[in-house]
Structure 1
Amino acid sequence: MDYHLQKMEEIFPQMINPLSNDVCMVGIYGFGGIGKTTIAKVLYNRFAAQFMITSFLANVREDSKSRGLLPLQKQLLNDILPRRKNFISNVDEGIRMIKDRLCFKKVLLVLDDVDDLNQLEALAGDHNWFGLGSRIIVTTRDKHLLEVHEMDALFEAKKLDHKQATELFSWNAFKQNHPKEDYEKLSNSVVHYVNGLPLGLKVLGCFLYGKTISQWESELHKMEREPNQKIQHVLKRSYDELDCTQKQIFLDVACFFNGEDKDFVTRILDACNFFAKSGIRVLSDKCLISIRDNNIWMHDLLRHLGRDIVRQEFPEDPGKWSRLCYPDVISHVLTRKMGTEAFKGILFDLSIPKWIHITTESFVMMKNLRLLKIILDRESTSMRDDYKVKLSKDFEFPSYELRYLYWHGYPLEYLPSSFYAEDLVELDMCYSSL
């Protein structure tokens, strides 16, 4: 974690400078498993000796939900002055006592995993609660929470680069700082899959420790379809805290729109009545997506999470999933005419040469289909004979809900006469026979 500490020193030296008499509140944010708590612990352990009073309140979110805020206030007061009698009967009394006891003392306080403004207001409400030179460090998954509380500096915990990720994974998988001989390629595959997430590197490294090459290969194949549940459990907490509409946006991005232009995605999702401007901002604040060059990006493991949430809707019956994005599953569903009203979106990547026959019956029950995207490689279709898409001449789209239709290489000369386009906001039929 020295990399993170170095970055923090560059971003806000006032946090590191022990001679500064300013009271400084620092927020560390990022999605689950990215290393926020580890960074806070590194800072706490490195600088604790320079403060009169120190306190590290771990798992604030979990403790406040299970026990309430009052026990956390009592824990803080006990850390401050363990020999004093700290009788408080409610949160307001706790606030007054914390302010009275700390306002002239140089304090290092860490509030780990905060998820509600009430937690901050009860434990570290304002700068004047603390004596000169105090440092308050808050970790959270919600950047907006830190902004509302007007923190002095914000630091985003980011994923590790390939070298750092390989080293962390190797310590857990091989008990050394580099992969064992014959495991280099497999290790690179795991590191690529985890995409710099420290939690994933530790969990998978420990899981694969001592296993054979064939067992590693088997587990890697499994993870592509069924992600590690220990990692998923940590990541899913942020998803569970979204409201219903925000969850729909998250799943649509995970299944269809990763890497797409934000304005383009907003236009389509607004047409689905998802209030996309607000929802995309919330997902960004909670670090479930990032916006770079006006494109929406989702970490690979979060994308796997979204697709696994869809799969878990009906694990044994993909005909009832809300979204389809695995090519082999889509082929299975379409050729067996398993489509249902549950389908809201389909992303069918046919860039790998394949033959498939799609009929009206394949789509007849998909009455709630909002998004249909069929991708193929134009060069492969013009240069190779082993790729074929066949549609019946009477092919129809039964859905009245289509907002987005993207079908490169559409093989018919006409759209169906019954095609309903009143609510369509995006139509892309390049390289087709229209």
Structure 2
Amino acid sequence: MVECWKQDERHLILPIFYFVDPRDVRNQQGPYQQAFEQHSHKHSSEVVNEWKEALQIAGEMKGWHVIESHGQGAIIGEVLSNVESHLRSMYTLVTDELVGIDTHVGEVMKLLNLGLSNEKVIVGIHGMGGLGKTTLSKAVYNKIFAQFDRCCYLEDVREALVVSNGAVSLQNKILSAVLKDDRQVKSVSEGINMIKQRVCKHKVLVVVDDIDDNFEFDKILGKPDDFSGDSRFIFTTRNKRALEFLPECKFYEPGELSYHLSLQLFSKHAFGMDSPPEEDARISDDFVKVATGLPLALKVIGSLLFRRERKFWKEKLIELQNIPSTTENKLHERLKISCNELTHNEMQIFLDIASHFTGSPKDLPYYMWSGCDFYPESSITTLINRSLIKVDKRNQFWMHDHIKDLGRAIIKMEDVEHPYNCSRIWSTDDALNMLRNGEVEFLLSFFGLYLYMLKV
């Protein structure tokens, strides 16, 4: 156990000192001293010393000391409660803790109808980008996952299905999450059979985030009728049409935030409080109006303005107000204002994460950025403070898919006609086209840089 804990301190040891003095455990005295004297005759000193070290470490850990026979039931209850709390924190998804989320969670819970046990329920959350659909799905997941035998949350499905063998990759993620089994299926049909034989017999919760028309339930999960009647499915999408292909799907659209909640969310990021100071009430009102109730825009704009001088506020307000109402994607234009304030180094790291490193460990590209003199520590801190990226509890980069799309759009604008002239490439199709067209110089330099990263 101690060896496992040393390899990853997220693993926990919760010792129960059952009629044993923790000091005897730590110091190998009393009965432990006698036991080790016997062990020293049978085992090498190296093995014995490893055992002693393990006991010393375990003996120093906080646990429960049981010295009386009565009252053990209460201690058992306390241990179980502690374990449940740790397990919940391990499996709980990180959310944005969005202002006003509770009402939406309640509405989705009604649609899920968890008291119904004789038929499975499919709920589709749809709406324009920036409404907080992913946050809502995670909040619902966190609230109900403990009521299911097995759970799975699939992120960035729209993007995953574009990649070769994307459906198989999603199936393997489902199998790994539900069965805790690292065995990999190699074809869609094999994955469907495995899901039918081993997953469907459980009461499962499956959340599939960000689907589009390419997602087909039957070709990834199999037949809905094969699943337990207690199972629940939640899908999120920007395009309601994608949900119309799901059998008996119940629709829910979160809608934009009310003015009061918009002001509260903006104030949290712009001032670090629930409402603006009196002298800033009027300009805050103007910013809330241009954000039009979109949570993502309110967060990014508020974070950009935090602790900046009022002259800067006024300039940014005019810039936002001048975005034409006919602009096809006003959200991107609003978010781009925050990107325009990034330094060269910050922008390079932002574009790298948007194109390649969302979902990757933070340490993977760190040495590359340091070698390029991008000063990643301060640059990453700025990007986090601007609400453009996050580093999750697994120390991986996370970026809202609309911000990721914005970053990739900025890269594409470098040369719309010839993508191989752009600074970064992430599309498999673009890479293959470049190889077919003999545009290999860029790819060779990119892979050379990647190999350098791996070497570092």
What's the TM-score once normalised by structure 2's chain length? 0.48
| Pair 1:77 & 2:175 matched | yes
Q: CA deviation at 1:57?
A: 0.5
Q: Rate the CA distance shift 1:116–1:208 in 2: closer, same or farther, 3 A.
A: same
| Alpha-carbon separation, structure 2, partners of 1:86 and 1:234 | 44
1:344-378 CA-to-partner distances (Å, cap 9, x unmatched) read xxxxxxxxxxxxxxxxxxxxxxxxxxxxxxxxxxx
1:232 corresponds to 2:332: yes
Selected match of 1:140 from 217, 221, 237: 237
Distance change (3 Å), C-alpha of 1:194 and 1:151: farther
Post-superposition offset of 1:232: 0.3
Q: Contact 1:104–1:131 (CA<8 Å) still a contact in 2?
A: yes
User: Which letter maps to 1:161?
Assistant: S
Residue 39 of structure 1 is matched in structure 2 by 136
- d(CA) in 2 for partners of 1:61, 1:234: 24
**2:121 — aligned with what?**
24
Q: 1:59, 1:112 within 8 Å by CA — same for their partners in 2?
A: yes
Deviation of 1:169 (Å): 0.8
Report 1:121-200 matches (<5 A): 121-200=218-297
- Which structure carries more strand by proportion? 1
- Report the 3-state secondary structure (helix = DSSP H, G, I; strand = E; otherwise coil) of the residue aligned with 2:279: coil
Equivalent-residue separation in structure 2 for 1:212 and 1:2 (angstroms): 26
Question: Residue 160 of structure 1 aligns to a residue in which SS?
Answer: coil
Q: Secondary structure at the match of 1:182?
A: helix
Q: Which amino acid aligns with 2:172?
A: K
Q: Does 1:116 align with 2:179?
A: no
Q: CA RMSD in A?
A: 3.3
Code of the aligned partner of 1:232:
H
Distance 1:78 1:110, change over 3 A: same
* CA distance in structure 1 between the aligned counterparts of 2:255 and 2:269, rounded to whole angstroms: 20
Question: 1:222/1:85 Cα in 2 relative to 1: closer, same or farther (>3 Å)?
Answer: closer
Q: Which moved more, 1:162-171 or 1:222-231?
A: 222-231
Deviations 1:218-255 (A, max 9, x none): 1111123358999407999xxxxxxxxxxxxxxxxxxx
**Is the CA contact 1:27–1:151 (under 8 Å) kept in the aligned structure 2?**
no
Q: Is 2:204 the counterpart of 1:104?
A: no
Q: Secondary structure at the match of 2:205?
A: strand
Q: Which residue identity lines up with residue 145 of structure 2 in the other structure? A: A
Question: Is the 1:24–1:135 contact (alpha carbons within 8 Å) kept by the matching residues of 2?
Answer: yes
Which residues in structure 2 correspond to 1:223-302 (within 5 Å)? 223-226=320-323, 231-232=331-332
What's the counterpart of residue 66 of structure 1?
A: 163
Deviations 1:63-106 (A, max 9, x none): 22235221111111000111x45331111211221122222111
For structure 1, list consecutive stretches of 5 or more residues without a partner in the other structure: 237-304, 313-434
Q: CA deviation at 1:8?
A: 5.7
Give, in angstroms, the shift of residue 10 of structure 1: 4.6
| Deviation of the 1:212 alpha carbon | 1.5
Taking a change above 3 Å as real, the CA distance of residues 186 and 62 of structure 1, as seen in their structure-2 partners, is: same
- Which one-letter code corresponds to 1:77 in the other structure? L
Q: What is the letter of the counterpart of residue 118 of structure 1? A: F
Task: Determine if contact 2:291/2:297 at 8 Å carries over to the other structure.
Answer: yes
Alignment of 1:314-325 (within 5 A): none
Are 2:297 and 2:335, in contact at CA under 8 Å, matched by a contact in 1?
no
Cα deviation, residue 117, structure 1: 4.0
For residue 125 of structure 1, report the CA deviation from its aligned partner: 4.2
Cα distance in 1 for residues equivalent to 2:143 and 2:274: 24
Q: Which residue of 1 aligns with 2:103?
A: 6
Q: Please name the residue that 2:372 is paired with.
A: none
Deviations 1:145-183 (A, max 9, x none): 211223431101200000111111111111111112321
Aligned partner of 2:150 in structure 1 is 53
Cα distance between partner residues in 1 of 2:219 and 2:163: 16
Answer with 117-126 or 23-32: which moved more: 117-126
The separation in 1 between residues aligned to 2:212 and 2:262, in whole angstroms, is: 28
> In 2 relative to 1, CA 46–184 (structure 1 residues): closer, same or farther, beyond 3 Å?
same
* CA distance in structure 1 between the partners assigned to 2:335 and 2:227 by the alignment: 34
Is the CA contact (8 Å cut-off) linking 2:158 and 2:215 kept in structure 1? Answer: no
Per the normalisation by structure 1, the TM-score is 0.50
- CA 235–24 in structure 1, closer or farther in 2 if over 3 Å, else same: farther
**Aligned 8 A contact 2:104 2:254 in 1:** no
Deviation of 1:213 after TM superposition, in Å, equals: 1.5
CA distance 1:233–1:103, change in 2 (3 Å): farther
SS of 2:274's equivalent in the other structure is coil
Per-residue deviation, residues 125-144 of structure 1 (Å, max 9, x unmatched): 43223212111000001111
* SS in structure 2 at match of 1:25: strand
Q: Residue 123 of structure 2 contacts residue 251 of structure 2 at CA under 8 Å; is this kept in 1?
A: yes
- CA–CA distance in structure 2, aligned partners of residues 48 and 88 of structure 1: 26
Q: Is the 8 A contact 1:22 1:133 kept in 2?
A: yes
Paired with 1:186 and 1:105, the residues of 2 have a C-alpha distance of 54
TM-superposition CA deviations, 1:183-225 (whole Å, max 9, x none) = 1111100111111001100110111111121110111111233
- Matched residue, 2:184: 87
Aligned equivalents of 1:10, 1:85: Cα separation in 2: 36
Kindly report which structure 2 residues correspond to 1:203-218, keeping only aligned pairs within 5 A, or say none.
Answer: 203-218=300-315
Q: Percent identity?
A: 36
Query: Residue type of the partner of 1:95?
Result: I
* 2:215 alignment partner, SS class: helix
Residues 57 and 110, structure 1, Cα contact 8 Å, conserved in 2: yes
Report SS of the residue matched to 1:100: helix
AA aligned opposite 1:45 = N
Which secondary structure state, in structure 2, belongs to the residue aligned with residue 163 of structure 1? helix
Alignment coverage as a number of residue pairs: 241
Do the aligned partners of residues 10 and 111 (structure 1) sit closer, same or farther apart at CA in structure 2, a change above 3 Å counting?
closer
User: If each structure's helix is expressed as a fraction of its own residues, which one has the higher value?
Assistant: 2
Secondary structure, in 3 states, of the residue corresponding to 1:216? helix
SS in 2 for 1:32: coil
